[in-house]
Structure 1
Amino acid sequence: MTEKTLFEPYALGHLTLANRIVMAPLTRNRAGKGFVPSEFAPEYYGQRASAGLLISEATQISQQGQGYQDTPGIYSPAQIDGWRAVTDAVHAKGGRIFAQLWHVGRISHVDLQPDGDAPVAPSALRAESKTFVNNSFVDVSEPRALELEEL
């Protein structure tokens, strides 16, 4: 790809991106109280708005979907307001941003789950992995299989 092509606008469906540069998502672990994007998130993403497309850090769809400490959610009014501040900052600079949504399944720990419950996953098989919780890396907890009526 030539430099000229890299910096030319690109049609992505109904969106026109300023260029073909995409900022990959990063797990920043910087959410504030209530898993709200931090007060610095609008500045962080706004500084990167000149990329053709920004993909946000992984954002859990529920607290049950959280797998790492201090990651933001998008399931409460306060979290939605936090992300609105981010998107407003990006849009004010002419940028485009997509949210990376996630539910981590079995890659979680009971300390991150509502009421200290086991994480949910397709099966009750514990992953051989670690997660970041309580400011350190620990083995993930054994999940419970999601019940059919929970789907």
Structure 2
Amino acid sequence: MNPANQTHQDLSNSFPKSSRLLTPNEFKFVFAQAEKFTNRHWTFIVRPNDLLHPRLGLAIAKKQLAKAVWRNRVKRLAREAFRQHSKALSGYDIVVLGRHKMQEVDNETLNQSFLHLIRQIKRSGLKDKPSLSLTEVKEK
């Protein structure tokens, strides 16, 4: 597909670098003062950010999911669910951790479980709590 011919919808369905946690300092920022949301299949480490969009970091450990194909499937599912519900998560940085035996769970169950945690984050009122800025975390 020619990039000049992309529609607005195609662009809104992308997962740009600005929506990703990429550097160790960005991950440290989330872990420094975070809330943990967990269920049977996922663990989310969540912290409000000062941006108008959410950012996602993936930390799917080999210890939890031994085979690369399992880890890649879980990351693909997490990115897609995050992308589809990014408006609901605006203003949050989220690090997604996988749980043991996720490879045995079907995609629909994992997706519903992911959405359950998104609803918990929205209800938490986490954005209303004061937190450190990214520059304050870098100084520590």
TM bucket normalised to smaller: under 0.3
* Structure with greater Cα Rg: 1
- Structure number with higher helix proportion: 2
Give the TM-score taking structure 2 as reference length.
0.26
Q: Which structure would you say has the larger RCO, counting Cα contacts within 8 Å and 6 or more residues apart?
A: 2
